[in-house]
Chain A
Amino acid sequence: MKVTDKDVSYVADLSNLELSAEERERMVRDLNSILGHIDALEKLDTSNVQPMAQVSDRYGVDQSKQGSERFAYASREDILEGLRKSLPHEEALANAPDSDGIFFRVPKVIER
């Protein structure tokens, strides 16, 4: 078994999840099952292969241009107002679970 209960606790912590005892148990089982399948990747020799993070730097762009030149079409001059006006304050706060009308309000950050 690859993933232990301790690993699940650690990763849950990184993910800002708590998970119930039952969920943790199931997570150990499921992650091991999925990673068991994913381990097939080990068979493949990729030592001379470049990683690919995204598609948009390879296709539909001018291949003769390099780096940021290649994406010049996507850049613009710095302007005070963006492409469209910023969201009005009250609209930005409208979906907030808690606010004082000016700021988002959250529980105490510093303990003690």
Chain B
Amino acid sequence: MSIAILLILAIAAFLAGLGGSYLGVGGGVFLIPFMTLALSVNIKVAIATSLIGVIATSSGAASVYVRDHLTNLRLAMFLEVATTLGAIVGALVGLRVPDFYLYIVFGVVVLYAAATMARIRETAKERAYQAGEESPLTKRLKLSSVYFDQEDQGVYRYRVERPVAGFGVSAAAGLFSGLLGVGGGFIKVPAMNVLMRVPMKAAVATSNFMIGVTAAASAFIYYSQGLVDPGLAAMVIIGVFSGTNLGTRLLAHAKSSNVRFLFALFLVILGTAMVGRLLFPGVPI
């Protein structure tokens, strides 16, 4: 690899780390197409490098969010059971499911989530604890939590709705990451925010915390098969780490409604790309 390509990759990784830590995704969905299309890296090597970038985003950003109490550790643990199981199933049987159906299903899910997130603004009232009974599972697992929002200097106690449905969607997200080598944050964040009614910032932080575990299992497999290019991986790690240092700082002071809007925008682009892939086969996303 030439030095110029490595430097370009480090800049792309910086942006992936910045955007990834701000939106709760690993940045794999940016990095894989960038490496294959712009730098003509082999797809398997690109996936391996991207998985390592996902871990770097996760560890770099999640550490800060855990320290600032934005992450819901119990919810993360609960959903990680689903994502890791899903990832194993994805790696084992997923190869027999035609790509076509996966892209249709996830394209539609992503566009639906984008519409919901753009339509409803997240206000303080929306974020606050809702009256009524908690679901028995939420109560039993003590999933509801509290976080401090630097935007308006408010402490918000929130409750987690529909834990079973969230568990199911997380399993599907795990399936997808096992197949494609991405963290799956683009499904986890809407699952938590739209379905389980977790406030946006807490959802971003919790998703960031979870994606590292999902990616680690796959990354080790790619590593043992000799698909990790240490030069590329090193550049991605260094770039991503610098990006997360900026991204985490931006999120802390950001307006939740803006984060949510940007996430919706990101989903629209992603969903369009997924559906577009069906119309123009051969373009990896």
A binds B: no
